[in-house]
A and B are shown apart, each in its own frame.
Chain A
C-alpha cells in the first residue's frame, strides 16, 4: 500500500495513535450521575441473574469497539490517500498529446468537429484511468506541456482549455521515458511521431474548399489600379460548386461562381477599381464545407491618391529619376533660391538645402546645412558604413544597407529626434515627429553609394508612406500575431481595442478568427491582415490515418475514485450502522 498525501511511516504512526486513542476513549469510564437508592441488594441480584448474558454483553462491547476502531482507522487512512494495487492496479503514467492543428476544426459526419472527438478520447482515457495514474498533457502547438499530475481534474481542465490553433504544429518532446505516449490526431499536420506511440485517429474524410492565396496588388500596367488575386483549391473528394465573394466594408460586393473538380485549384482576379481603400474581404460559399475558417481571407486596399512631392535641389539625378518613375508621386522640382512653400504640396525633399524654419509639411532632408530646428551643424565627420540600424522603425523596414559606403556626414544633434541608423556614435539618419514629420539623412547622396543600392527606392517609398501615414499592410497567419514596433496598440476593423502586449520591440496579440486589424505604432496605422492561408492546413484529407477510431460516447462516465472515497463512504455507513444499532440497543 502506498500513500499519496503522507509518507507511509506517518500514516502507520497516525493509525497506531488513532487506535490507541480510540481504545482509550472506549474504555474511559464516564462519570455517571450519582443516584442514591435505599439498598443495592436487589440491583446486585438483578446483575447476578444477568451474568448469564455477560458473554453477549462482552460480544456487544467487542463489536462496538471494533466498529469504533474501523471508523477511526478508515478515516485516518483516508487522509493518507492510500493506493492499493489489489484494487487500483499498478500506477501508470500517460502522456497524452493532443493535435491542436487547425485541421482538427473540421467537422465530421456526426456534426462534431475532429477536435471535439479528440477531446472526448482524451477525457475518456483520463476518466477510465486508475486512481493514482499520472497524466501529462501536451499539444502540438508548443503552448501546453503540463507537468505530470496525479489529479485527473487538473488534466481535464487543461484539456478543456485547449483549442485548435494555427501555430505550425510539431510533436512535443516528452521527457518521461516510462510514460504511455498517446497521440490523438487526425494525422494531417503531423506525420512523424515517436515510435511506441499509441495513435488515436479522429480522422474522417471531409469536404473542404479553401482559400489558399489572397492578395490585393497593383496592376502592373497601371500602378494606381489594384486587383485582388484569389486562389481557391478544392480538397474535397468530389466536385464542388463555389461562389466567390469579394467586397469591402459597407461596399458593394463582387460575386463569381465556379466549379472545382476534386483537387483542382482555381486562380481568380478581381478588378478593384470600384472599391475605395481599406478592408477587402474574400469569401467562398460552398455547400457541405467542413472547415469554415479557411473560407474567409482579408487584405488591405491602399488609397489610390497621388502624392505631390516638391524636390528642392540644385540637381540630383538619382532623386529626380526615382521620383519621376514612381506612379504614385506627382513631382515638382524647385531650385533652392526659388523655394517657396506651397499649400498644394504634400511633402518636401530637400537635397543639400534647409530652410531657416521648419516647413509646414513633412520633409526629407539629405545632407542638411546648419539649421537649429533640424539639429544639424556644419561640422562634417568621416564615417565607415552603418554600424547600427533600427529596422523596427517604419522608414527602415526592409531597407538593405549591406553595401552602403559613405565618405562624410554632417553632425546631427539627436536630442530632439530618433536616430534610426548610426555609424558608431555618429547618427546617419534621424527621424522626428515635431514640428512636422521629418527625416534627416546626414550624408550627401553624391558622397555615398546609397542612391545606387537596392535599399534606396525602398527607403524613399517608406519615407513617403510614413509622411502620408499610409504604410503597406502586414499579412499574418491566424494565432499569435506579432507586429513590429513597441508602444503600440491594436484595434479591430470596427475600431474596438484588441488585447495586446509588448514583447521585444514588437506588439503581440492573439486572434482566433481571420480579420483586418490596425496596429497603431509610432503614430502610424499599420494594417494587419490575419488569415488562414495554408495549402497544408486546408488539405484536411491528406492524413496518414486511414480511418477513425470509434468515437467514444459522450455519455457520462463516472470517474474512478481513489480508495479514500470508498473508505470515507464505508466510515459513514459504519457510523450510521453504529447509530442505528446503538439506539436499538444492539451495541453499547
Chain B
C-alpha cells in the first residue's frame, strides 16, 4: 500500500483541477448574486408595493426550500419543462446565484434600513433625487456596515458549491469522490479536500478584515 504522502501527491493534480472549477463557480456565482441581491434589496425597500411583493416572494421561495432541491429542480426539472438541455455548470451557477442572491438581498435590505432617516432627509432637502440619495448617500454608508455580513454569506456560499457534486460538476468535492472511488483512501483525500476549502475561506476572511480596516465606518 502507498504511503499517505504518496496518495496525496498522486491526487493533487485532480484536486487542483477541482479547486479551479470551484473557484470559477464561486467568483461567477457571487458576482451574479451580488447584482441580483442589490436589485432585490432595492426593490424590497422601494415605495412601490408590487416591487416589494416580487422581492419578498423571491426571498421567501429561495429561503423556504433546500438548496439541493433548487439544484435538482434547475438541472433535472426545468429541462423537462423547457424541453432543452441545461449544462451542469450553467445549472449550478444559476442555482447558486439565485440562492445566494436571496440572502444577499436581505443583507442589503437590512443595511439600507439601518441608515437613519436624517441622512435621507438631508440628501433630499438638497434636491438630490431618490435614486441619487440611494447611490451617493445611503448605499456607500450601508455597504461599509454590510461587509462582515457579506463575508459570512460568501463563506456559506463557498461551502454550498460542494452540493453541486450531486449533479456531476467536477468541482473540488466531486474530484475527491472520483479519486476515492478508485483508490479507496477516504481519510487522506477528504482530509485534503477539507484543507483546500479551509485555505480558500481563511484567505477570504483575512482579505475582508483588511478591506474593513481600510474602509472603516466614519
Asked if A pairs with B, the answer is: no
Query: Which residues of A come within 8 Å of B, CB atoms?
Result: none
Query: Which residues of B come within 8 Å of A, CB atoms?
Result: none
